[in-house]
Amino acid sequence: MKPLEEETCGVHALYIYEETQEYLQQIQTFITNGIDAGEHVILIENERLYATILKELQKSMDSEQLRLLHFVNSLQFYRLNGSYHPARIKDSLEETIDHYEKHLLKFRVWAHVEWATHEAPKHLLAEVKDVESFADRKVCHSSYIHICAYDGKRLTTEMMNVLLETHPYILKHDGLSISTVYSL
């Protein structure tokens, strides 16, 4: 495995976590490494976790550094009329990163995807595959890092397979590995 920061072209990686504390540690490392590299960090996250993350980051970063962190409310990003809506998500992604690409700014994206139910509903399989395939193509033509984070306890086997097939990289605590089942 190699560290995330060694990648020089676009990286679309899947991060599956089991515990919130593990998640918080990984995301703080991602944000800190990005800001230390002078990159803007787009954080697509729920408000509750964002508050926790920001509080922790404020212990080690000043306001100038934190200006590189940009919060996007995940509930607004992923949902339209209360459900996972692929067309809206694609538009949201385009709108979110367009400014950074137009101005040739270095940036990275962390997108936390959450389900309202304990497990991802089966009817979302095709929709998630569509959105993740779109994100993969977008990242492939760019040079930014895009992490898609999912709670492993909320994924069915079928959903896990879709996610593994649509992400060329897997992020683990010790760095990136290449997906052996990526198929796009």
Residue 147 has pLDDT above 80, yes or no: yes
Residues 28-42 have a mean pLDDT of 97
Structural domain harbouring 136? 4-178
Question: In the chain, how many domains are there?
Answer: 1
| 8-state DSSP, 113 | E
Whether 162 maps to a domain, the answer reads yes
Tokens (6 digits) for 80: 């339209």
On the 0-12 / 13-18 / 19+ scale of CB atoms within 10 A, 25 is: middle
Percent of residues, the chain, with pLDDT higher than 90:
59
Residue 119 has pLDDT above 80, yes or no: no
> Taking the model in full, what pTM does it have?
0.89
User: What local confidence, expressed as pLDDT, does residue 170 receive?
Assistant: 96
**pLDDT interval class at 140 (50, 70, 90):** confident
Residue bearing the bigger pLDDT, 150 or 118:
150
User: What local confidence, expressed as pLDDT, does residue 1 receive?
Assistant: 44
Whether 67 maps to a domain, the answer reads yes
Whether 184 maps to a domain, the answer reads no
Q: What CATH number is attached to the domain comprising 43?
A: 3.40.50.300
Amino acid at site 117: T
Cβ atoms of 135 and 148 closer than 8 Å: yes
Whether 22 maps to a domain, the answer reads yes
- The span from the CA of 159 to the CA of 151, in Å, is 11
Taking CA 100 as the corner, what is the angle to CA 80 and CA 91, rounded to the nearest 5 degrees? Answer: 20
Residue among 77, 11, 80 nearest 39 (CA): 11
User: What local confidence, expressed as pLDDT, does residue 76 receive?
Assistant: 84
Tokens (6 digits) for 161: 């397979």
Whether 160 maps to a domain, the answer reads yes
Whether 49 maps to a domain, the answer reads yes
Which phi-psi region, left, alpha or beta, contains residue 39 (left: φ > 0; alpha: ψ -120 to 50)?
A: beta
Residue 32 has pLDDT above 70, yes or no: yes
Whether 128 maps to a domain, the answer reads yes
**Structure confidence by residue, pLDDT tens digits, 59-112:** 999 999 999 999 999 988 876 445 666 778 888 888 888 889 898 899 999 999
Cβ atoms of 16 and 152 closer than 8 Å: yes
Tokens (6 digits) for 88: 């809206």
Whether 183 maps to a domain, the answer reads no
